[in-house]
Amino acid sequence: MAMLPNVLVIGAQKSGTTTVWHALDRHPDIFMSPAREIGFFSNDHNFNRGVAFYETTFFQGWNGESVCGEKTPEYLVMPNSASRIREVLGNGVKLVALLRNPAERAHSGYRHSLMLGFESLLFREALAAEPERIARNPAALGRFGYLARGYYAGQLVRYFELFPRENILVAFFDDLVSNQSALFERIFRFIGVEPLRFLESLNEGQPRTEKIRADTISNTIAYKGKVIREPSRWLTKFVADYNDAVEKLSPLSQDEAVEINRTYFRDDILALSRLTGRDLRAWLGEPG
C-alpha cells in the first residue's frame, strides 16, 4: 500500500529534523518514509519524475496509519518547494518547520561540509565566499548556503501565503534541547495523534565531532559501534580527511554567534519574531 504524505517536516537543521523524524517514526499511528532526505519538491529531477514515482517509491510501506509523512529540511529554503507542495498535496497538509539560531545553524552546516570533505575554507572565509559561490552556481545553495539557509522570515512567508496558518507549526531547536518531551507533545497534538511519551531523550540532534578510529595495525575502522575490516583506499583517505577536519574545527562561541547574527541576520531575526510571536532577541545578545 502507498499513500501521499499529509505531514512534512522541514527546517533549518538536518540533525534537529532527524530527531523529530525519529519521534514521529516511533508512533504507532504514524508512518514516516524511511528515506529521510527525499527532496522531491526541492529537486527538479526528482519532481519531474512525477507524483506516482514519489508515492510508490517512498511510501510503499504505509499500512493504513492515520498520518503519513516525510522529512526534507531543504524544503524550507528552496524557492519552488512551497508552491510544488501546494500543487501536489493541497493546502491541507501539515507542515512542521524547525528553526535554529541562524549563526549556530550556519556553523553546523559548515562543520558538516568540512567533515565530508566538501569544504576547504575556514568558517569566516566560507561566509564571505558564499554569495559568489551561489551566484556562480545556484545549485551550491544546498551545499554552501550557510547564510542563505538562515533567513527564515522570508522562507516562512512563502508558506504562510500558500497554506492556512493553523497548518504550519513553527518550532525551535532551543526547545528541542531544553524540553524535548514538551515539544514532541506539541507536535503530536498538532498533527492529530495521541502524544507518545518517551522515557529517554532522543540524542540524534547532538553534533558529532569525535574522530573516526582507524587502526593501521589491524587495518580496521570503527565508528558508531561498527567495525569495518580491510577498508578500501577511498574509505581510508576519507577517514584521514575527516579526522583532519575535526582537528581544524573550532567551536563557535556565544559571543561569535551573537556577532554573526548582528552582522548578517539582524533584520531577519526581528522579522521572524514578528511573524511567529517568539521573542528572539537573545540571538542578538539583547535582553528579552
The predicted model gives 91-115 an average pLDDT of 92
Q: 56-70, 98-112, 227-241: lowest mean pLDDT where?
A: 227-241
Topology annotation, domain 7-103+148-205+253-284: Rossmann fold (3.40.50)
The predicted model gives 265-278 an average pLDDT of 97
**32 to 6, 69, 193: CA distances (angstroms):** 10, 5, 14
CA atoms within 13 A on the CB side of 198: 20
How high does pLDDT run on average in the chain? 89
Q: Kindly state the cell numbers that stand for 148.
A: 542563505
> Where is pLDDT greater, at 275 or 219?
275
What size, in residues, is the chain? 288
Q: How confident is the model at residue 205 (pLDDT cuts 50, 70, 90)?
A: very low
The predicted model gives 192-202 an average pLDDT of 80
Burial class (CB in 10 A: 0-12, 13-18, 19+), 230: exposed
> Where is pLDDT greater, at 287 or 282?
282
Whether the per-residue pLDDT at 30 is higher than 70: the answer is yes
Whether the per-residue pLDDT at 274 is higher than 90: the answer is yes
- Which residue is associated with the grid cell 508515492? 55
CB 71 within 8 A of CB 17: yes
pLDDT of residue 247: 64
- Which residue is associated with the grid cell 514521529? 24
* Separation between Cα atoms, residue 39 and residue 6, nearest integer Å: 16
> Where is pLDDT greater, at 171 or 232?
171
- Least Cα distance to 244 among 281, 202, 212, 207 occurs for 212
pLDDT in tens, 69-95: 999 999 999 999 999 999 999 999 999
Name the DSSP class of 47: H
Whether the per-residue pLDDT at 135 is higher than 70: the answer is yes
Q: Kindly state the cell numbers that stand for 16.
A: 534537529
Those residues with Cβ within 8 angstroms of residue 186's Cβ, 6 or more apart along the chain or in another chain: 169, 171
pLDDT of residue 204: 47
Q: What residue spans in the chain does CATH classification 3.40.50.300 cover? A: 7-103+148-205+253-284
Whole-number percent of the chain with pLDDT over 90: 66
- Least Cα distance to 150 among 12, 57, 285 occurs for 12
CB 33 within 8 A of CB 58: yes
